[in-house]
Structure 1
Amino acid sequence: MRRKLKLKPKVKRAGIIFLAVIVVLSGFLIYRVWNHNATLAQGLDYIQEQENKKVKELSSSLKDKKNAEMESAIESGQVDVFALFDDAVIFGDSRVMGFSVYHFFPESHVLASSGATIKDISNWVNQAQSMNPSLIFFSYGVNDMGLGLDSEGGYDTLYQSQIEQVVKVCPDATIVVNSIISATPAAIEKSPRWDKVDEYNKKIKAMCEKNDWIYVDNSEICQNGNADIYQADGVHFLQPFYTTWAENMIMTVRKQ
């Protein structure tokens, strides 16, 4: 009968220590490999992020350059700004009617009437649907302020609900909303109902931001009512202003 060999205590300890060293080394190697892979992944993510950033910056730079060239071409008369509205319609009041009265837009593209308010948008929904334009502009305000439409649940809420009727039938169109263009100080003095332009415009802008619609700020081109663009009543516009207004609208859209 063979006798079982008994390991000496020193041999057992050496074996345990050896195994422990192997475990520690294996853990260390696994950690180094994992850490290397994690660092490599972070590095690749950073490189990709920088590449995406460069592409965006380049795209933005090219867009800015093209817009500057377009703006220059419009100002020099090389490009007819109104030709850029071929696939557009504009909703509005008597101010907007000037686009067709002065023959800048075809009458069918101007969905407006004298004395109109945002409540009249629904009257033109079917026509907008039949035309199915890629750009839809809105410009109201002077009559809305006169009727105090802000008291009916909030001007922005009412305006939004009206525009949504158009969005429903023209879901692919880009929606562009003009700020209210101020009347002259003299006109406001005669009729204080027009002195709430800033208040209404804040709500229009917030509405656009909420719905991802484009907001056109017209305060600079009208100089808050002090520009030489008004007819004798201080509310309606002279013919040359429509070109300036159209340029402001279309360049605002292009810069988005």
Structure 2
Amino acid sequence: MKKQPKNKVLFLIPVGVILAGAVIFLCTRGNENDSVCKENVARLQALENSDISQTEEQLQALKQTTGISSGSDASDGSGSTLLSDVEIRQVFAGNVIIGDSITESIVEYGYLDTDVVVSKRGLNVGAADDQISTAIALNPSHVFMAFGSNDLEIYGSASSEFIDAYRTQIKKIQTALPDVPIYINCILPITDEAIAQTPDLGYYPDYNEGLIKLCQEMGCTFIDNSTIVTDSSENLYEPDGEHVIQDYYPKWLTNMAQIAGLKA
């Protein structure tokens, strides 16, 4: 039902190369004999060929020493610092995110693996029995759910039916994992152009209102991600006006982690 996100080709330059070049530049500005500079250059060149997941902490320490930023301190636009790729894997370890094609792209873009993300393209919440069972079997510390995109085209104006189906799935998790907190992600705003093509998509505000009330009823936490797309200086939507591009994902994952209090 949902379109396949475009394949992205990424050209990666090892962060050690960038930092080493910057430190060498600083060292040549009248500090050729500075032993600290020379030591930092040697350390960075050694890190260049290392596994980045093993050297993240060392690189952070060198950034503090040299005063150079590698770009991993970017903001999500709200003043909050985005989690790095390594930090995303650390904070979501032992947790589960359940959802449809929008959630599935977390794996496709390489941020997390299927031991955390339990999803299926075209999935609606009422048909997610297998995914709920898989998530429960993983015995997570936190559960995040993200449904609604496909449900809009199934339930249309009958938002109460969507909420009833969501309630059923939440009850399954709460029965099996009574002490595990559950977080419900909003349905993202959908562009006017997309709604014009598929009018049922225009009911998303009613669905979100229902989800807020459902969270109050069930003791869950509602996560509103809408400002990530509405306040962004760039267009974060795919051409269909419903799915989102890769730049959305670290912002979304950071927001979920912060609201749930997940720490690396």
Q: Provide the TM-score with structure 2 as the length reference.
A: 0.63
Structure 1's 227 and 141: CA in aligned 2 closer, same or farther, altered over 3 A? farther
Q: CA deviation at 1:126?
A: 2.7
Contact 2:97–2:117 (CA under 8 A) maintained in structure 1: yes
Larger-Rg structure: 1
Q: Hey, what's the Cα distance between the residues in 2 that align with 1:235 and 1:251? A: 24
1:86-97 equivalences in 2 (<5 Å)? 86-97=93-104
Secondary structure at the aligned position of 1:84 is classed as helix
Give yes or no for the alignment of 1:139 onto 2:149: no
Shift of 1:110: 1.5
SS in 2 for 1:176: strand
Taking the aligned partners of 1:109 and 1:131, their CA distance within structure 2 comes to: 9
Instruction: Tell me the percent identity.
Output: 25
Contact 1:91 1:111 in 2 (8 A): yes
Q: Distance in 2 between matches of 1:197 and 1:224?
A: 18
Counterpart Cα distance in 1 of 2:147 and 2:130: 14
SS in 2 for 1:230: coil
Q: Among 145, 169, 188, which residue is 1:162 paired with?
A: 169
What code does the residue aligned with 1:237 have? Answer: V
Equivalences for residues 1-256 of structure 1 within 5 A? 74-75=81-82, 77=84, 80-148=87-155, 151=158, 154-223=161-230, 228-254=235-261
Provide the secondary structure at the position in 1 that maps to 2:210.
helix
Would you say how many aligned residue pairs link Structure 1 and Structure 2?
185
* 1:157 Cα deviation from its structure 2 partner: 2.4
C-alpha contact (below 8 Å) 1:82/1:246 kept by paired residues = no
Unaligned runs of 5+ in 2: 1-77
Task: For residue 72 of structure 1, report the CA deviation from its aligned partner.
Answer: 7.4
Cα–Cα, structure 1 residues 214 and 101, in superposed 2: closer, same or farther, change >3 Å? same
| Contact 1:182 1:194 (C-alpha < 8 Å) held by counterparts | no
Deviates more, 1:201-210 or 1:115-124: 115-124
Superposition RMSD in Å: 2.7
Matched AA of 1:90: I
For residues 186-214 of structure 1, give each alpha carbon's deviation from its aligned partner in whole angstroms, at most 9, with x where no partner exists.
11121111101111100000000111101
What's the CA shift string for 1:87-137, capped at 9, x where partnerless?
A: 211111111100111111112321111110011221123322221001101
* AA partner of residue 148 (structure 1): Y
Q: In 2, are the aligned partners of 1:74 and 1:81 still within 8 Å (CA)? A: no
Partner SS, residue 108 of structure 1: coil
Quick one: distance in 2 between partners of 1:211 and 1:172? 13
Q: In 2, Cα distance between the equivalents of 1:106 and 1:78?
A: 12
8 Å Cα contact 2:157/2:200 also seen in 1: no
Is the alpha carbon distance of 1:209 and 1:91 closer, same or farther for their aligned partners in structure 2, counting shifts above 3 Å? Answer: same
Gaps of 5+ in 1: 1-70
Task: Please give the alpha-carbon distance, in whole angstroms, between the structure 2 residues aligned to 1:137 and 1:121.
Answer: 14
